[in-house]
Structure 1
């Protein structure tokens, strides 16, 4: 098999990508202190979560623990990196706008804690703040689950904070040891990453226990949610910069627009897990196959997250996993899920070969699925990617697939129904692969690998030997795509109008009695405004749109002077709507429909 040079390039910079991921995990660590919640709950507290390290005794040594990254990676592929002068700026300026490596972190942070979660300007939504007596962490559906100040988790106690700071120090010390030692072993990096953010990690448990956002309805966002996603996007953005620099020998490190221009792709990998469950004759058949499927996903995770360090896992269920992946910037042109910039060409095919190899090594009967999405600045398309993957995987052998072993004689295996069992006398005997899966569970139980779990039905049956099977399911896709947003705790137009009677020193033009209809009429009137030359008008200072979207006033600054109004509207609509909505929603459709008059019934 020929060497895929871009993959080898990424492997040379593994330490850089994983170090950037660690910076992403920790850049908001100051939110894990109770004083952060008190300050944003209205209490008078002398605390700035972006400068928490200065209040430690002695001050937390960011420069000592992270300085090696800049020294070792002053340039990539002959292109100089624009690093911040001190590592602490990753902590203190992650909400600002800067060029270089800091700009890529700001881009990832903006998606994780800004664009996805809340795009309103701060003054617009202050009324959604909680106070110190009711500082709740809620479920995704808006149900309060814990009053974080009245009933603080361990992380929000004094001892918990001290333990967290020591954990952060230990993570970065191990990272420095691996990075300065130029360790190339994938296993060592994987072990470090598992210790840092694995299920048993104190950092992960601490961040999961507290809120990153105190305002309603976004108090369901934990610090772990926000930090992990920002880290994944930062990691992928840096990997993309290296790939682009290696191919084009340039990258716009000095551009102050990286925060707005950076995009990502979503890498979806799947396997037809339902097929293995449906074909199982005994429980052991399914549990053994399930273990092999999980091993398949584990190998994919190691490849993407550690070996190449090109992205991080964003979602996984029993049949589909989605990872962050580098994508083309807005200023590179228009691309979709079939067209790629030169520096991304060949990746989908090469990755498909790798996951094919994993599936064959595990002797899976069905071919894996792999697809890169179009470039995006949203995670909402993830639901669409998963739906497409499941539609393909509904047909188990959805493309040509050659098994590594099929047997030489005997009957067709009653479990997989594709291999021969090498036993002409017994039709009920499974093939060697299915037999291995079936017996593996017993061996694991005998050796104590299953812990307190049992594999014997009679241990859970009633006195009559009967067992009931309860099946519970919840289809998350409609919530992930926004179809059922009305069942979540969200901000309503009526609430926005009630608490924002004045916009830019003038009365809010939206009618208080019929705010929804009034908002539609207002937006349609804005969209129908034309210049004397017949072009669309884009009034960046419009009070309503500036209040509804933090990015609206910025759109003209992302384009050359003199850009037409329609181009500005199309670009803004793409970011705010097309990038999150279903495929059938587009500016062109809206335009053809007289700017929505027919669709909206106006």
Structure 2
């Protein structure tokens, strides 16, 4: 490992120069957005953007002298025939990568008519939002020294512009186009630095490095919603850390694909490496595994690392995704550490650590053991509740977003105490391996017997995943609020004996308050000394004011009982109605658990379930109509009572998601002539 670390130190030394020059690849075709946005009424001064790029002159790696500006690298590198004449290898390499990226956007004279719209990979077209795009492009150029910031703004701008206006390749946005070129460029640039080359390889090759695990199996182990969302957040935080490791700390390549089973990076094919990429593996595998072991996952998920064969088009993402993910398993040395001197029962959430493990003191350890979990899993629950409670004090819509959503099951139940778990999935198995992408045509001219299929580039495979994920995200942001329509209230119940309660209640934990023989779910906000309602108030009467007026002066608080367990009395809370507060229209009663293409889960009131299922079907028929015979959609609904153990509903949802799609082979018995209309080839 020491030899590998010494070699990677070369990347650390040249990190700033590589990352600055990488920016030129992201921006290299930015001027294509000018005529496209102007068609939609935008007013853009290109000189303002160019002047920002001209202000940065990253030194050539291995040199301290400033050379070409980013503007000059962009202008010279976007034309491959001119770029090869440049004395600067960064420009020559950009020209090569621009040319290689055309694998995603092939040039044919027979391409369709011009379009002012942006298409998805499945052919659904929408107009760009040029106002947002212009604003975000300006913001991107104002944060060029902050990679995460300029990329965040640049993505919002460039997904509103196309790399080509001709159908059907108007699916390639400038974000996809720039991202493909930047990923290819950065990988070869890192190879030049690692191998101390003076120029780019005559024929660059690339590999895909994948970090894979069975993400759905890992999430399925969560018995409650808080555990599921906490595990999902920990998973994404760990992958974000790996991305930082390989994109910034050791700038080796870029992440080009991510799903619930891990990430894939485009990386260089090092000189003299074998077919399995063992030289590259020796450099990075230990770093990646150690980072994941120390991440928020805490060693409970050990991934497998795969490296594909080298390819001169980097068209091997589908091969990386063909390998089945390994089963969920922890790091063995972490297991030995957890159980050393710990004769406790096993955590009911992670299933690998002892109950109470990781607590900073004996009190917190006992609190975790009372809930049959380790302290790590308890913390994942608590942080989410704390963020939710704090968000009510925020002013911006983004900061208040957690408060305006629900994280409590009892809040989502309709007035009769019923909920519905909506599940859905797409079958992408034949798309991610590239087979169905080959059924999408770039050129179709039956009279000349000319048919050209689209290529399964890593950018296009990523767009397939992204488009189906955006589908579920749009269902969450638009369809669910449209079905539910109204927002519901919450109450903050002020407490007079807050200091006394602090000794008995955990910060931001949920408890049961008994009111006239009924149970009201409340959450203890230790900082504000209030109990926040976490239940649909409509089930208690006509309005929230009536519930507040009917509260007794003294509330009995109980620890909720688990499945097969009785609840336990904790203490009495003395109510101050004058300081209590009603939050009108506080939240939309829904909770989205997963928005992965092959695993969508959302909780909504049972009364809205059938209407939502209809809306999902209508959206599918609109956005996926051109591929509905190749991209099946599954929707399922589970109805249950709010007092029913949640794990039984989640288990039913998981079982529905495991239902396999049926397939049917059909024989073509007659070919009909086709005509082209709006970029589509239809029977004439």
Scaled to the shorter chain, the TM-score interval is: 0.5 to 0.7
**Residues 182-201 of structure 1 mapped to structure 2, 5 A cutoff:** 192-198=146-152, 201=153
Q: Distance in 2 between matches of 1:75 and 1:477?
A: 45
**What 5-or-longer segments of structure 1 have no aligned partner?**
42-51, 176-191, 499-511, 520-547, 550-602
**What 5-or-longer segments of structure 2 have no aligned partner?**
357-364, 392-398, 456-684
Aligned equivalent of 1:61? 51
Q: Please give the secondary structure, in 2, of the residue aligned with 1:205.
A: helix
> Residue 370 in 1 paired to residue 359 in 2?
no
Out of 421, 431, 437, the residue aligned to residue 374 of structure 2 is: 431
Q: Please give the secondary structure, in 2, of the residue aligned with 1:469.
A: strand
Out of 194, 197, 203, the residue aligned to residue 243 of structure 1 is: 194
> Which structure has the greater CA radius of gyration?
2
Q: Distance in 2 between matches of 1:5 and 1:137?
A: 46
> Residue 453 in 1 paired to residue 391 in 2?
no
Q: Distance in 2 between matches of 1:291 and 1:209?
A: 28
Q: Distance in 2 between matches of 1:95 and 1:233?
A: 16
Out of 112, 116, 120, the residue aligned to residue 139 of structure 1 is: 120
- Shift in alpha-carbon separation, 1:486–1:252, aligned structure 2, 3 A: closer
The alpha-carbon deviation at position 226 of structure 1 amounts to: 0.5
Out of 196, 206, 210, the residue aligned to residue 161 of structure 2 is: 210
> Residue 444 in 1 paired to residue 387 in 2?
yes
Out of 88, 95, 99, the residue aligned to residue 72 of structure 2 is: 88
Out of 79, 104, 125, the residue aligned to residue 93 of structure 2 is: 104
Q: Distance in 2 between matches of 1:194 and 1:296?
A: 17
Contact 1:62/1:88 (8 A) holds in 2 = no
1:468-504 deviations in Å (ceiling 9; x for gaps): 1111222434223321136535423x45x63xxxxxx
**Residues 40-439 of structure 1 mapped to structure 2, 5 A cutoff:** 56=46, 60-61=50-51, 64-66=54-56, 68-69=57-58, 72-73=59-60, 75=62, 87-97=71-81, 98=84, 100-112=89-101, 114-118=102-106, 122=107, 125-131=108-114, 134-146=115-127, 153-154=130-131, 160=134, 163=135, 166-167=138-139, 169-172=141-144, 175=145, 192-198=146-152, 201=153, 203-245=154-196, 250-253=197-200, 258=202, 261-328=203-270, 332=271, 335-340=274-279, 344=280, 346-359=282-295, 362-388=297-323, 391-393=324-326, 395-397=327-329, 400=332, 402-403=334-335, 404-406=337-339, 408-421=342-355, 429-439=372-382
The alpha-carbon deviation at position 207 of structure 1 amounts to: 0.8
Aligned equivalent of 2:477? none
The alpha-carbon deviation at position 376 of structure 1 amounts to: 2.0
Contact 1:95/1:106 (8 A) holds in 2 = yes
Q: Please give the secondary structure, in 2, of the residue aligned with 1:430.
A: coil
Contact 1:24/1:231 (8 A) holds in 2 = yes
Contact 1:412/1:427 (8 A) holds in 2 = no
Q: Please give the secondary structure, in 1, of the residue aligned with 2:328.
A: coil
Q: Please give the secondary structure, in 2, of the residue aligned with 1:233.
A: helix
What is the total number of aligned residue pairs between the two structures?
426
The alpha-carbon deviation at position 34 of structure 1 amounts to: 2.2
- Shift in alpha-carbon separation, 1:307–1:426, aligned structure 2, 3 A: closer
- Shift in alpha-carbon separation, 1:2–1:31, aligned structure 2, 3 A: same
1:36-70 deviations in Å (ceiling 9; x for gaps): 887xx9xxxxxxxxxx99x856893378413x31x
Q: Please give the secondary structure, in 2, of the residue aligned with 1:212.
A: coil
- Shift in alpha-carbon separation, 1:244–1:144, aligned structure 2, 3 A: same
Q: Distance in 2 between matches of 1:243 and 1:231?
A: 18
Contact 1:32/1:206 (8 A) holds in 2 = no
> Residue 478 in 1 paired to residue 419 in 2?
no
Q: Please give the secondary structure, in 1, of the residue aligned with 2:184.
A: helix
- Shift in alpha-carbon separation, 1:205–1:459, aligned structure 2, 3 A: same
The alpha-carbon deviation at position 140 of structure 1 amounts to: 0.7
**Residues 449-528 of structure 1 mapped to structure 2, 5 A cutoff:** 450-485=402-437, 487-492=439-444, 494-495=445-446, 498=448, 512=449
Q: Please give the secondary structure, in 2, of the residue aligned with 1:420.
A: coil
- Shift in alpha-carbon separation, 1:458–1:129, aligned structure 2, 3 A: same
Runs of 4+ in 1 over 6 A off after TM superposition: 83-86, 423-428
Q: Distance in 2 between matches of 1:316 and 1:433?
A: 25
Q: Distance in 2 between matches of 1:396 and 1:58?
A: 51
Q: Distance in 2 between matches of 1:74 and 1:429?
A: 55
Contact 1:392/1:398 (8 A) holds in 2 = no
Q: Distance in 1 between matches of 2:352 and 2:53?
A: 59
Q: Distance in 1 between matches of 2:234 and 2:48?
A: 49
> Residue 25 in 1 paired to residue 6 in 2?
no
Q: Distance in 1 between matches of 2:132 and 2:225?
A: 41
Q: Distance in 2 between matches of 1:197 and 1:333?
A: 34
- Shift in alpha-carbon separation, 1:227–1:435, aligned structure 2, 3 A: same
Larger RCO: 1 or 2 (CA < 8 Å, sep 6+): 1
Provide the TM-score with structure 2 as the length reference.
0.56
Q: Distance in 2 between matches of 1:447 and 1:333?
A: 55
Q: Distance in 2 between matches of 1:458 and 1:431?
A: 25
- Shift in alpha-carbon separation, 1:466–1:305, aligned structure 2, 3 A: same
Aligned equivalent of 1:15? 16
Q: Please give the secondary structure, in 2, of the residue aligned with 1:60.
A: helix
Q: Distance in 2 between matches of 1:372 and 1:465?
A: 51
The alpha-carbon deviation at position 14 of structure 1 amounts to: 0.9
Q: Please give the secondary structure, in 1, of the residue aligned with 2:338.
A: coil
The alpha-carbon deviation at position 116 of structure 1 amounts to: 2.7
- Shift in alpha-carbon separation, 1:318–1:458, aligned structure 2, 3 A: same
The alpha-carbon deviation at position 306 of structure 1 amounts to: 1.5
- Shift in alpha-carbon separation, 1:418–1:263, aligned structure 2, 3 A: same
Contact 1:381/1:481 (8 A) holds in 2 = no
Q: Please give the secondary structure, in 2, of the residue aligned with 1:209.
A: coil
